Amino acid sequence: MAVEHGFIVLGDVSGYGEFIATTELEHSREILAELLNTLCECAPGKLSIAQLEGDAVFWLCGDDAPDLVDLLKEKFVEYHRRLRFMTIATTCPCRACASVGALTLKFVVHRGSWVRQRVAGNDHFVGDDLVLAHRLLKNSVPSHEYILLTDAALRAVATEGAVPHEEHVDHHGTVRCAYIDLSDLRARALTERTDHLDRREAQWLDERELPVSIARARDVVRQDVLGGWRGEHFQLLEGPPEARETRAWQTPPASGAELAHTVARPGARGSDLGQEIHCHHEGDVELMRVVRSDREPGQSRATFHIFGGRDAFYLTEILSETPTGSRIEVRVAWEPIGDSKSRVSDAIADLLKGDLDRLAASCGS
């Protein structure tokens, strides 16, 4: 069996033992599964999942990973963003759903070696460095949320603001390491707006009267009138059942363009809220996240945070019933909202206007 070398990374959902002991089992298990899935899906391909270990994820990574700390910080923000959406989306009054925000997250990173064994058709990993990394989950770091890195890991990754630290570990003696406190980073997950754009906030808006019902307008969209996230954001107004699971598809390219790959990830607690759509096209990645979704008789409203490359903006769409059919309204505000220097780019405005024109034409306007 060949010896492998690289980074050993553990992501641990802290507080879950007490959480599951004091709350309803069915919902607490569902909540943990959703949080672990969020950790596993964030930045796929850069870390290889070795095992799921109860309330923790065990990853392995090759030696060449200078941006590993930045990747873990990204996972941390995504974790807390999902916690926020889960809190907003739930309507369940049980103790598990009400206390989900108490679950924290910490990481342990070590660099060493291991051996992969195949047992009963599954990969298992053994090695002293794996034992050390797992034992470091129990430590004296004076924070609830952090990245703890051993000296072996620190020598190979870029770190900033790491605090020197030591741990005494059975059979390993004194282990020199350092930690990065992530508490302040949690605020990044809380700054994203979660309400619809008001007409007064919109830096660009447009609307179309449609001589068809809301249901018919949605049917037209499902017939691939629009593509990429520009089609997905219309479809999400209806919230199709297939939006509840991660799915991927390819969009045929226009003449001379590359194939577009799109991945949609489900929202929090079975809702649209927090759903993400990633569109990979010609080397760029566009990401759209649902930050608010409301449905009432005769009206659907949805707001999205869309960013990629140099673009970052919020978009609210309202599909309303009218005496003669329906109306679609689109409102856009560049990020940061209220910045007089920001404006909706002509390219984005043209794309959205074209979407509305195609939708209206297909509806017979």
Query: 78 with 54: CB under 8 angstroms?
Result: no
User: For the chain, what is the HEC assignment?
Assistant: CCEEEEEEEEEEEECHHHHHHHCCHHHHHHHHHHHHHHHHHCCECCEEEEEEECCEEEEEECCCCCCHHHHHHHHHHHHHHHHHHHHHHCCCCCHHHHCHHHCEEEEEEEEEEEEEEEECCEEEEECHHHHHHHHCCCCCCCCCCEEEEEHHHHCCCCCCCCEEEEEEECCCEEEEEEEEECHHHHHHHHCCCCCCCCCCCCCEEEEEEECCCHHHHHHHHHCCCCCHHHHHHHHCCCCCHHHHCCEEEEECCCCCCCCEEEEEECCHHHCCCCCEEEEEECCEEEEEEEEEEEEECCEEEEEEEEEECCEEEEEEEEEEEECCEEEEEEEEEECCCCCCCCCCCHHHHHHHHHHHHHHHHHCCC
pLDDT of residue 255: 43
Q: Over pLDDT 90: what percentage of the chain?
A: 36
Q: pLDDT by residue (tens digit) across 148-161?
A: 999 999 999 988 88
- Tell me: do 80 and 95 sit in the same domain: yes
Based on the domain organization, do 43 and 149 belong to the same domain?
yes
| DSSP strand pairing (311-322 vs 299-308) | antiparallel
* Of the residues 189, 218, 251, the one at which a domain ends: 189
Which of these three, 165, 189, 213, is where a domain ends?
189
Does the pLDDT at position 242 exceed 90?
Answer: no
| Judgement on whether residues 169 and 312 belong to the same structural domain of the protein | no
Q: Given a cut of 90, is residue 59 above it in pLDDT?
A: yes
- Per residue in 189-223, pLDDT (tens digit) is 777 788 999 999 998 999 999 999 988 887 787 66
Domain endpoint, select from 189, 214, 249: 189
Q: What is the spatial distance between Cα 161 and Cα 139, in angstroms, rounded to a whole number?
A: 19
**Residue 252 and residue 184 in one domain:** no
Instruction: Express each pLDDT in 255-301 by its tens digit.
Output: 444 555 667 677 787 777 777 776 655 556 677 888 888 888 889 89
> Looking at the structure, do residues 166 and 203 belong to the same domain, yes or no?
no
pLDDT bin (cut points 50, 70, 90) of residue 232 is low
Residues 24, 151 share a domain: yes
Q: Does residue 9 contact residue 47 with C-beta atoms inside 8 Å?
A: yes
Mean pLDDT of 45-63: 90
Banded model confidence at residue 234, pLDDT cuts 50, 70, 90: low
- CATH number of the domain within which 185 lies: 3.30.70.1230
Highest mean pLDDT out of 3-12, 20-29, 43-52, 250-259: 3-12
* Domain extent at residue 235: 192-362
pLDDT at 69 over 50: yes
Mean pLDDT confidence for 86-108: 83
Residues 148 and 64 grouped into a single domain: yes
Question: What's the mean pLDDT when you consider all of the chain?
Answer: 82
CATH code of residue 290:
3.30.530
Do 78 and 202 lie in one domain? The reply is no
Q: Which residues pair with 150 in a beta bridge?
A: 177
Same domain, 234 and 148: no
- pTM (global) more than 0.95: no
State whether 39 and 137 are in the same domain: yes
CA separation, residue 99 to residues 63, 95, 105, 107, 231 (Å): 39, 6, 15, 22, 36
- Residue 42 banded pLDDT, cuts 50, 70, 90: low
- What average pLDDT does this structure show over 37-54? 83
Q: Return the pLDDT at 225.
A: 57
Are 107 and 168 in a shared domain?
Answer: yes
Domain count, the chain: 2
157 and 270, same domain (yes or no): no
**Is 117's pLDDT higher than 60?**
yes
* Phi and psi, residue 33, nearest 5°: -60, -40
